[in-house]
Amino acid sequence: MTTETMNDQRQFESDFTRLAEAGGPLAELRREAYERFVELGWPTTRGEAYRYTDCRPIAEADLQLAASAAEVPMDVLRPHLLDGVPCHRLVFVNGIFDETLSDIGTIPDGVTVMRLAEAITEQPDMVTRHIGTTIDWKIDAFDALNTAFIEDGLMMHVPAGVHLEHPVHVLHVTRSGDKPIVSHPRTLIVVENGGRATCVETCCGLGDDPCLVNPVTEIVAGDDVHVDHYRIVREGEKTWHIGGFGLIQGNRSNVNSCCMALDGEIIRNGMTGTLDGTEGMANLRGLAVVDGSRHVDNFLRVNHMKPECDSREYFKHILTDKGSAAFTGRIYVEEDAQKTDAVQTNMNLLLSENAKVRTRPQLEIFADDVKCTHGATIGRLDEQAMFYLHARGIGKEAAKSLLTFAFANEVIEDIELLPLRRMMESLLLERLPHGDLLRSMGGVD
């Protein structure tokens, strides 16, 4: 990959020096990552990884870590909470833990759900053993930047055989101000053999000033593990959300991860899944509703390292106004990974003439006994389906909404966490014209 130095990366120097002085078990990793970030520089569109996402506005902004937590009333947070299901809740505002808004509740014996900052001091071995193992921060500048500034976030550890009953909900709230702020929340989820857990991440923004949210989430799943992970991106109008996600799976493990990109000026969702045990299953899904002049970039890589694993990538983009979306998916199959079954799908629905789509569904296969397919489509709503509905007395706009909802719902309908699914459905309906009509039509219950 060629990344070209675009600007002075030393803008974070003072912030980093301050952090480095604190020392701790991650000091070495942070320093390496920082040096790597300076070396890589901000990604440019001349490199393959960020070919379709222009990071110049980010590079040019004078970004700073938040000095102190901003005040956020509970009422503002409420629409982002899951109804009717008890959660272990952690809330961070501008990257700083907010005790009053958080409600971690009772954690079962042996399970860890705590701030990463605490875990670094209390369980340094656990943290250092796993952190940075699922992503390659040496090749991605934003992952390197996050790693350089690991300070706080969520640490989850589920011991062997334990099923964590309630979901963990972590909210990263960004309250923008006069100065562009940056936060680098880190989430580390370790689930030991036979464990089970669910984690929901919400990244939400208040205020319309520019800022950068650069979260990285890592999941380390052992054998026979089941993990559900969701990330909902509802940032402020001028927020750049450049997210990283890393996953490594053991034998017979089953991991689902779903990313909903709804609000933010630029939303990048980088995902790397590595199937490192036999018979594993990685199920990565994403839905993006891209309106205004938003840009969404889903950038995925799935590594099949061991035989008999399955992977599914299912990403849908709905584009209106001047929205633009990019998808890059690469299925990589090692020589040893025979009997791999990988499916990759990217579908793009264009609802306006100024929308733009870039898609790169890629396969890189070094084993012969594999089943790998990928498909990408770009198109408008089906004229015949529109006509069908029209002929049955459904107005043009309502028909359009109905078909668009149906398109998106294929990603949402598999969400097992019911309150989250309801939330997604209603968010989707809000964005469609005549959404209330759809609701009353009983298409959505």
Partner 1 sequence: MASDSNQTLDAWAEQSDYKWGFVTDIESETLPPGLDEGVVRAISARKQEPEWLLEWRLKAYRHWLTMKEPEWAHFPDRPWGPIDYNAISYYSAPKSDEDRPKSLDEVDPKLLETYEKLGIPLEERAALAGVAVDAVFDSVSVATTYREKLAESGVIFCPISEAVRDHPELVKKYLGRIVPPNDNFFAALNSAVFTDGSFVYIPKGVTCPMELSTYFRINSLNTGQFERTLIIAEEGASVSYLEGCTAPMRDENQLHAAVVELIALDDASIKYSTIQNWYPGDENGKGGIYNFVTKRGMCEGDRSHISWTQVETGSAITWKYPSCILKGDDSIGEFYSVALTNNRQQADTGTKMVHIGRNTRSNIVSKGISAGHGQNTYRGLVKIRPKATNARNYTQCDSMLMGDRCGAHTFPYIEADNDTAMVEHEASTSKIGEDQIFYCNQRGISSEDAVSMIVNGFCREVLAELPMEFAVEAKKLLEVSLEGSVG
| Site residues for partner 1 per CB under 8 A | 319, 335, 338, 348, 350-380
- Number of CB atoms found within 10 A of residue 384's CB: 8
Q: Which tokens in the block code for residue 117?
A: 């900052």
The residue among 99 and 364 lying less far from partner 1, judged by its C-beta, is 364
- Number of CB atoms found within 10 A of residue 291's CB: 17
Least distance CB 363 / partner 1 (angstroms)? 4
Q: Which tokens in the block code for residue 398?
A: 């309502």
State how far the alpha carbon of 46 is from the alpha carbons of 4, 195, 299, 325, 365, in Å: 8, 43, 16, 18, 25
**Residue of 129, 150, 148, 130 lying closest to 140 (CA atoms):** 148
Least distance CB 322 / partner 1 (angstroms)? 11
- Per-position b or e across 153-176, b if 16+ CB within 10 A of its CB: bbbbbbbeebebebbbbbbbbbbb
The residue among 101 and 331 lying less far from partner 1, judged by its C-beta, is 331
Tell me the C-alpha distance between 90 and 116, whole Å: 11
Tell me the C-alpha distance between 330 and 303, whole Å: 8
Tell me the C-alpha distance between 334 and 297, whole Å: 26
Least distance CB 348 / partner 1 (angstroms)? 7
The residue among 226 and 317 lying less far from partner 1, judged by its C-beta, is 317
- Per-position b or e across 330-363, b if 16+ CB within 10 A of its CB: bbbbbeebebbebebbbbbbbbeeebebebbbee
The residue among 5 and 14 lying less far from partner 1, judged by its C-beta, is 5
Least distance CB 299 / partner 1 (angstroms)? 14
Least distance CB 403 / partner 1 (angstroms)? 15
The residue among 126 and 376 lying less far from partner 1, judged by its C-beta, is 376
Least distance CB 360 / partner 1 (angstroms)? 5
Backbone phi, psi, residue 124, to 5°: -60, -35
The residue among 26 and 309 lying less far from partner 1, judged by its C-beta, is 309
Least distance CB 325 / partner 1 (angstroms)? 10
The residue among 83 and 364 lying less far from partner 1, judged by its C-beta, is 364
